[in-house]
Chains A and B, each alone.
Chain A
Amino acid sequence: MVMSLACITLGVGLFVVTQATTTGFERFFIKTIVGTNGAIRIEDRIQETLRTMEAERGNDASGFVVEVKEGRKYIQGIQDPALLIEAVRRFANVAGTSEVLYGAAEIRSSFKNEAARVYGIQLDDHLQVSDLARQIVRGYLADFRQTPAGTLVGIKLAERLQLEVGDSFQLQVGGEVRRYRVSAIFETGIGDIDKDRVFLHLGEARSLLRRPTGASFIQVNVIDRDRATQDAAHMEAVLGHSASSWQERERTWLDVFRALRLSTSITVSVFTLIAGIAMYNTLALVVMEKTKDIAILRSMGYTRRDVTRIFLWQAAMVLAVGALLGCGLGAAVTYGVSLMKIRIRGIFTADHFIVAWSGWHYLSAVAISVVMVMAASLIPARRAARLEPGDVIRGTAQ
């Protein structure tokens, strides 16, 4: 009993901890990517060329119609962003839209030159579709808003060029060179973005990139994040532009997180399995010791089901105590882990363990232990119920 109690406690506790950390990091990752690249991105117009073939009505085959996608042409960029935005805003789930124009440029500070990507945005629109406000680590957005030549520079890029807030630098596109000022420095946590992105005002970007009309993409924010994929598919069909949700864009990483969560929960469930085996052993032993008592109870009118219930009840008590202790252990360790320092850069930026607090982790941990332990208890409990009182008593007294 002590063994199974300990294993239930450990199984439940560790399950909770691993779930809390894996989902913690996963959610943080999702928050980062949605906060940076938006829930849905609409770009490239689609031109689909469909050809309809009617299969020949032969003698033996029934006729049918086949639609063949001959090809799908993507025409880069968005020609009329205002029109598209108006259409996108009609979707119920849409919370905000921001038109973005981007292009490659060379950035020059007094220190060195680097390749950069210039993103033209309308600040207030973009704040509605991203966490940009919270990603500012130095300087102020207000400065950017007021300064036509103001920019927001990624932290890694700023470090490489040794740029500080208030410094000025040059951007070159083709033969055109213009001078800008660092209004603020941002850190998304995503290395690829922080090392080459510069935000400009949209009008400024248009003239620098010589693109007086159109947009590169529209970044869309939604109210219900989990519906982004359906909405994107719907948008793609209705708007005739490719639309990708965060789930599609980051499928690789999301799959990694899912696999990690699954594999840790399987590993940790081994404890619960041991708890089940221990419970089976203990109960099988108790049933052997208690055959006499079982026979007495049966002789008094207790049914087979009553006997089963008595043994399952014992298992359930141990289970209840173990699960309770396990939840306590899980919560305590989760809290302890959340205080631990860890440095993660690249896919997101974190300086300590990120945990997610969710009742579901506790519920599923308890559910797994209930299933395992009760299933293991059922066998000895039913064996106890099958005992014939006459056989038992005859074996004990002649």
Chain B
Amino acid sequence: MPSGVTPFADDAVLRCEGLHRSLGQGEGQVHVLRGVSFAARRGEVYAMVGPSGCGKSTLLYLLGLLDVPDRGEIWIDGQLMPRDDDAARTAARGRHLGFVFQFHFLLLEFSALENVMLPMRKLGRWSLSEMQDRAHSLLTSVGLGAKTHRLGNQLSGGEQQRVAIARALANQPSILLADEPTGNLDVRNSAMVFDLLTGLARQNGQAIVVVTHNPELAARCDHTLPMRDGQFVT
């Protein structure tokens, strides 16, 4: 694939082409991703489904620029992501990407508000009071308006996950990646978190890729991407 030439001339905000990734060393090396290509448009929700160990998380880390593919390219907003320019990749993470991890991953010594403000502080687009207002309204929209000053370790699992969603949305990313965001939650909570995520993203015209094991939730998405053995199956 010649770099710089977009394979599809459409409005895809996130695109990847021919991604390969092997993990592990020597004997234990596993060819996890075996040529994944895919594109996501603004305002649409994509559910990635598949058995455990098929490579969903691995793909999401590549798309989130947290890891580098062995082969293949990623474009964000039509821009080819360089594979060895850490500064450019880091900047793109802050500007374009929001990530919700399988495990909430809050900074537990910080309050909910501070956790949500962290990405904004780095981006530097808003003043301190704007950041506080924004963090407050994001936490309100995930139903935590009354607990903004609780520390991370004073929140329940579901609450922490909702703070993580607010945090992922903080910089108004064009792409939201969520790795089993409801994996550790009960049915009621997972439905709520899922609706929140998709609702907010649709409102803001963000592309969402969400990994889930729950077929019911997957059915509510615009697209389903079934994966098996490191490839999308159709």
Which residues of A pack against B, CB within 8 Å?
292-293, 295-304, 306, 388-391, 393-394, 396-398
Contacts and interface: CB of A to CB of B under 8 A. Distances in A.
Contact of A303 (B66, B90, B99): B90
B105 A292 contact: yes
A304 to B, nearest CB: 7
B94 interface: yes
B87 to A, nearest CB: 7
23 contacts: A292-B105, A298-B66, A299-B64, A299-B66, A300-B94, A300-B99, A300-B122, A300-B171, A301-B93, A301-B95, A301-B119, A301-B122, A301-B123, A303-B87, A390-B61, A393-B66, A394-B23, A394-B57, A394-B61, A394-B67, A396-B103, A397-B102, A397-B179
Mostly helix, strand, loop or mixed at chain A's interface?
A: helix
A122 B114 CA distance: 81
Nearest to A398: B57
B99 A299 contact: yes
A300 B118 contact: yes
B46 interface: no
Interface string B102-146: 110101000000000011001100000000000000000000000
B51 interface: no
A170 B233 CA distance: 124
Nearest to A388: B67
B91 interface: yes
B119 A397 contact: no
Contact of A298 (B52, B53, B57, B90): B90
Given A389-B66, A390-B66, A299 B103 contact: no
Given A300-B167, A301-B90, 20 more contacts: A292-B105, A296-B105, A296-B107, A298-B93, A299-B93, A299-B99, A300-B93, A300-B99, A301-B91, A301-B93, A303-B86, A303-B90, A388-B66, A388-B67, A389-B67, A390-B68, A394-B61, A397-B57, A397-B101, A398-B53
Contact of A301 (B61, B67, B94, B105): B94
Contacts of B86: 303-304
A297 B118 contact: yes
A23 B119 CA distance: 53
Contacts of A299: 64, 66, 93, 99
Name which of A299, A302, A388 has the most chain B CB atoms within 10 A of its CB: A299
A310 to B, nearest CB: 11
Chain B, interface size category, equals 20 to 34
A306 B64 CA distance: 19
Contacts of B101: 296, 393, 397
Contacts of A390: 61, 66-68
Nearest to A391: B67
Contacts of A302: 90, 94, 122
Return the 4 tightest CB-CB contacts between A and B, nearest first.
Answer: A301-B94, A390-B67, A300-B119, A390-B66
Name which of A296, A297, A300, A388 has the most chain B CB atoms within 10 A of its CB: A300
Contacts of B68: 390
A109 to B, nearest CB: 84
A394 B58 CA distance: 8
Nearest to B95: A301
A364 B179 CA distance: 53
A231 B94 CA distance: 66
Nearest to B102: A397
Contacts of B94: 300-302
Contacts of A304: 86, 90
Name which of A301, A389, A391, A396 has the most chain B CB atoms within 10 A of its CB: A301
Interface in B168-187: 171, 179
Contacts of A297: 107, 118
Contacts of B123: 301
